Amino acid sequence: MRSWPVLLLVTWLALGTTGLQADSILSMNPEETFDTSQQLDRYEALINDLRCVVCQNQSVAESNVELARDLRRITRDMILAGKTDAEIKQFMTDRYGDFVLYSPPLKPTTYLLWGAPAILLLLGAVVMVSVVGRRSGESSDDAERTGENI
Amino acid sequence: MIPELGHVALVMALCLAVTQSFFGLAGPIFDKPSWSAVAKPVSIGHFVFVCIAYAGLTYAFIQNDFSVAYVAGHSNSGLPFMYRIAAVWGGHEGSMLLWILMLAAWGALLGVFTRRIPLQTAAKVLGVMGVVSVAFMWFTLATSNPFDRLIPAPMDGRDLNPLLQDPGLVIHPPMLYMGYVGFAVAFSFAIAAMIEGKLDSQWARWIRPWTAAAWAFLTIGIALGSWWAYYELGWGGWWFWDPVENASFMPWLIGTALLHSLAVTERRGLFKGWTLLLAVSAFSLSLLGTFLVRSGVLVSVHAFATDPARGLFILAMLVFFIGGALALYAWRAPQLAQKGGFAPLSRETFLLANNMLFVVATLLVLFGTLYPLFLDGLGLGKISVGPPYFNLVFVIPTLPLVLLMGMGMHSTWKKTDWSQLKGKLWPFALATVLFTAIVPLIVYGQFGVMKFIGLTLGVWVMAVAFIDPVRYLLRKHSLRGYSRTMLAMCIAHFGIGLFVIGVTMVETYGIARDIGMKPGDVAQVDDYSFTFVGTRNVEGPNYSAVRGEVIVEKDGERVTVLYPEKRTYRVQQNPMTEAAIHPRIRRDLFVAMGEPLGQGAWSMRIQYKPFIRLIWLGALVMAFAAFFGISDRRYRVRSEAEAAERTPAEGHGKLQEGLA
Amino acid sequence: MKSLKYLLPGLAFLVLAAFFYRGLFLDPRTVPSPLIGKPAPAFDLQELRQPDTRFATADMFGKPAVLNVWATWCAGCKQEHDFLMRLARSGEVPLYGMNYRDERDKALEWLSQLGDPYKAIAYDPEGMGSLDWGVYGAPETFLIDPEGTVVYKHLGPLNPPIWEREFRPRIAAMQGSTQ
């Protein structure tokens, strides 16, 4: 009976360590920590959108440095705490700046970047229309076969 | 001794390149055929000496000569033989030598295979190639000499980056460089035309096979890089929009546009300005890539050790070649414009749309890659532009491109009759939509907008690719007489379809899971169960590894056992993930080890990747098509006879009846 | 007029080349801190040398202060250590430390061997306190004004030229405004 403190201690240690282990497995086991598949999807999307500031060529999802692991854990915790994606991204950029986002935020300095597809397509369409318009008015006799000079 | 011989050979090669440049350009300019005639043999001699130099460096690697600084930096006595040969291009200096070797090879090929081209033109082309060679060799000898000695020599080298110790590495850079550098030929033809002030369909016919060959190599090179990244980097991805990947992709996009634009220039003498600009741009983008990889201006996993001094030299080269070419363009292109009409619905219009969309796609990639530099340079802060941006933005021009591809290839020159085109294609369109709406639903039980769009476009292109050859075959019971160029187009487009399907399937139906597993745990991914048995330690030739064992089963039957590894290379001490893959056309099963979690447990990355092999298969099909197209006799027949023989078979729905 | 459009590619290229030239002198890897001009993030951690006491951000307020993030595994920290010792002796500005992702025993031994320039050191083995400061490596050094606003961040080892160029003028400006 006198050994019960020891027993308690041993039990506590055993539970404590397996608890720790389970937690670290859990922290690598995103599926078992989220309540809904939307949360899991959000998690995956977010950690792939964050750039690992240390290695810089990997996303936080891919990188194995400690900072990346911490950021993954924080992301998970924030999702479970009910934060929105915007709030999580704000947390990251407050500390590391816009550099940490692989998808640059829409702000005046990036209007040109995000507007590029529309602008270029528009320009392309304008060129197409003008060229085709001009060419359809011309005779379609072959201007040359071979060997034409300027 | 041998490295010094190699060094001398390189200097000799430089002298020969100077000779080639001088005689190649001065001969035509001063109208001295005897001078022009010098260019071809000199180009072959130049190649020979570059080979000697390259062989010298390879010898130093094979012999583990660590008194050569470059060898000491990139090799090790424990490095397996195959990788000692590949290590020659594992670092900046050696890869520059590889560049020079490829350039010399293309030059020598030009020296041999241009008998049908007028001497003065061929000389100019070789002259420009010579100038490019001179620039690169001067750069290498002055700033990046691979033959520099390291005295006293270290006992052993610093080993090749473990990421590069792989069979894929042995072929990826040479193929890539053959392509990258091969666009210098198109560039040289363009410069020659601008100097001459003459650009016609004959010119287009000359340049086409060279461009197609370079494009084919580049296609293979990029595909190899993607495949290699997939199995070597351990994340299961196949494209990362890394700046250096983009740097190889942009010349490919422009090269594709160039091949199409050349079709119009050859057939109708139109789009000369476009073709010229595209020919200049393709190689310009190759040069740009060289700058980005070696200057330290952008962060990239591929970047060599950077050095602003080298960066400045390369930038000077960029300004000289690209600036010079574009100045020539601004001068000559206005003089090239000419008459030639075509209807709003015509093959010409489709090819114009093709040009536009490819250029838009290239500009989007370029813009995204360089935008962080723009902002940083203007002091407006540091941002990152990564896969989320590119993945979204890139499909905007390319989805319409794939759709139009199916229609454009069946259009006719000058004017296409819409009801005829519609009549030809609508059954296939309908069959495609029915197929992609129903079959994936049955097989995978899922439906999604992007899945549907991607699959529809891919299947559409494949469905319509072979309509004409098949009809010809059914009529004539043989493909003899069918234009190889046309057949090559069908095969290439079919390859694009395969590629699109591969991308769509793997990105929209793929499953990736990161799971912590103890020995004995089972994970379920799709219909497969993955049982993690445990790990043990193994030793490789120059690494130690923890090897995991994963049993894969489906419906109770064993499919395979996979052995992913976590390696530590002894010299450089970086940990490397060696993924284990079970490859099938229908799906890859991909397992990689993440981090140890204690008590024998590991975080495992398990992925189900349907049809991912189609991505690279499609690319190989495209490359094959290009090589096949080059074998078309029309590129080897004399131009005068040519004009009489050719019939306008592509127009008005008739098929080509054969070349005499 | 028509020929103007043919000049566009060339002109566009020249603009590009100008950016490349500029880019050769920038470092794309450095991540600027978004904390500049903002209040210093709050931390409240154990003091490294006296585990019973705590060291919080507010302890640095009232005077210009320098916070140096360091670790025993960081080669650059060893490089800058001599300079930090000199800085501490000069008394120019109080020097605080944040021991980043490290072990207490190793850190204490390191300090006893190389010297201890810090008025107070926060012990941050998990890196959570540093994360709030946007730290992603070591060494990193922050300059904080008396009101607790982050004024400047330097990445990499400190040395006299950098101190002269970046820190001194800013410290002087702070003291000027309080006069």
Side-chain half-sphere CA neighbours of C173 within 13 A: 10
Nearest chain C residue to A95, by CA: C134
| Tokens read off for B139 | 């750069």
Q: What is the pLDDT of residues B269-294, one digit of tens each?
A: 889 999 999 999 999 999 999 898 88
Q: Which residues from chain B sit within 8 angstroms of residue C13, using beta carbons?
A: 284, 322-323, 326
Q: Which residues from chain C sit within 8 angstroms of residue B295, using beta carbons?
A: 20, 23-24
Per the omega criterion (within 30 degrees of 0), is the bond before B152 cis? yes
Predicted local confidence at residue B135, as pLDDT: 96
Predicted local confidence at residue B151, as pLDDT: 84
pLDDT bucket at A8, cuts 50 / 70 / 90: very low
The answer to whether the CB atoms of B601 and A21 lie below 8 A apart is yes
pLDDT bucket at A142, cuts 50 / 70 / 90: low
Side-chain half-sphere CA neighbours of B371 within 13 A: 25
| pLDDT above 70 (res B650) | no
Contacts for B616 with CB less than 8 Å, ≥ 6 apart: B223, B224, B226, B227, B502
Percent of chain B at pLDDT exceeding 90: 67
Average the pLDDT over B222-245 and give the result.
Answer: 90
Please tell me the distance from the alpha carbon of residue B33 to that of residue B29, in angstroms, as a whole number. 10
| pLDDT above 60 (res A14) | no
Residue C157 CA from chain centroid, whole number: 9
The answer to whether the CB atoms of A97 and C101 lie below 8 A apart is no
Predicted local confidence at residue B444, as pLDDT: 83
| pLDDT above 70 (res A73) | yes
A102 touches chain C (CB under 8 A): no
A67 touches chain C (CB under 8 A): yes
Nearest chain A residue to B604, by CA: A28
Predicted local confidence at residue B394, as pLDDT: 96
Predicted local confidence at residue B644, as pLDDT: 47
Predicted local confidence at residue C177, as pLDDT: 62
Predicted local confidence at residue A19, as pLDDT: 35
The answer to whether the CB atoms of A95 and C29 lie below 8 A apart is no
Nearest chain A residue to B393, by CA: A117
Q: Let me know: does B504 contact B486? Beta carbons within 8 Å.
A: no
Out of A26, A99, A137, name the one closest to residue B383 (CB). A99
C29 touches chain A (CB under 8 A): yes
* Coil, strand or helix at B386: coil
Q: What is the pLDDT of residues B398-441, one digit of tens each?
A: 999 999 999 999 999 999 999 999 999 999 999 999 999 998 88
C33 touches chain A (CB under 8 A): yes
Q: What is the pLDDT of residues C28-55, one digit of tens each?
A: 778 888 999 899 999 889 898 888 899 9
The distance between the two most distant Cα atoms of chain A, rounded to a whole number of Å, is 110
Q: Let me know: does B287 contact C16? Beta carbons within 8 Å.
A: no
The answer to whether the CB atoms of A97 and B382 lie below 8 A apart is yes
* Residue B254 or residue A28, greater confidence: B254
Question: Model's pTM, two decimal places?
Answer: 0.90
Q: What is the pLDDT of residues B593-648, one digit of tens each?
A: 988 888 888 888 899 999 999 999 999 999 999 999 998 876 665 544 444 444 44
pLDDT bucket at A4, cuts 50 / 70 / 90: low
Mean model confidence pLDDT for chain B? 89
Q: Let me know: does A128 contact B344? Beta carbons within 8 Å.
A: no
pLDDT bucket at C84, cuts 50 / 70 / 90: very high
pLDDT bucket at A65, cuts 50 / 70 / 90: confident
pLDDT bucket at B367, cuts 50 / 70 / 90: very high
Nearest chain C residue to A94, by CA: C34
Q: What is the pLDDT of residues C99-135, one digit of tens each?
A: 999 999 999 999 999 989 999 999 999 888 899 999 9
| pLDDT above 60 (res B210) | yes
The answer to whether the CB atoms of A95 and C134 lie below 8 A apart is yes
CA-based nearest distance B330→chain C, Å: 5
pLDDT bucket at B359, cuts 50 / 70 / 90: very high
| pLDDT above 90 (res B260) | yes
Predicted local confidence at residue B140, as pLDDT: 94
Out of B334, B373, B376, name the one closest to residue C3 (CB). B334
Out of B301, B597, B643, name the one closest to residue A145 (CB). B643
Predicted local confidence at residue A5, as pLDDT: 58
Predicted local confidence at residue A129, as pLDDT: 93
Predicted local confidence at residue B185, as pLDDT: 96
Average the pLDDT over C153-168 and give the result.
Answer: 91
Average the pLDDT over B233-260 and give the result.
Answer: 92
Q: Apex CA B53: angle with CA B51 and CA B57, to 5°?
A: 110
| pLDDT above 80 (res A3) | no
Phi, psi dihedral angles at B436 (to 5 degrees):
-75, -20
Q: Let me know: does B436 contact B455? Beta carbons within 8 Å.
A: yes
Predicted local confidence at residue B651, as pLDDT: 38
Nearest chain C residue to B301, by CA: C29
CA-based nearest distance A33→chain C, Å: 21
A99 touches chain C (CB under 8 A): yes
pLDDT bucket at B100, cuts 50 / 70 / 90: very high
CA-based nearest distance B86→chain A, Å: 24
The answer to whether the CB atoms of B348 and A135 lie below 8 A apart is yes
- Positive or negative CA dihedral for B643, B644, B650, B655? negative
| Tokens read off for B112 | 């041999």
Q: How many CB atoms lie within 10 A of CB B79?
A: 23
pLDDT bucket at A138, cuts 50 / 70 / 90: confident
| Tokens read off for B193 | 């035309």
CA-based nearest distance A116→chain C, Å: 16
Predicted local confidence at residue B321, as pLDDT: 97
B75: alpha, beta or left, given left = phi > 0 and alpha = psi -120 to 50?
Answer: beta
| pLDDT above 70 (res B348) | yes
Predicted local confidence at residue B526, as pLDDT: 84
Predicted local confidence at residue C2, as pLDDT: 63
Mean model confidence pLDDT for chain A? 77
ipTM, 2 decimals? 0.86
C2 touches chain B (CB under 8 A): yes
Query: The tokens 């086409």 sit on which residue?
Result: B208
Q: Apex CA B367: angle with CA B366 and CA B373, to 5°?
A: 105
Best residue in A51, A66, A67 to probe C by mutation, most C CBs within 10 Å? A67
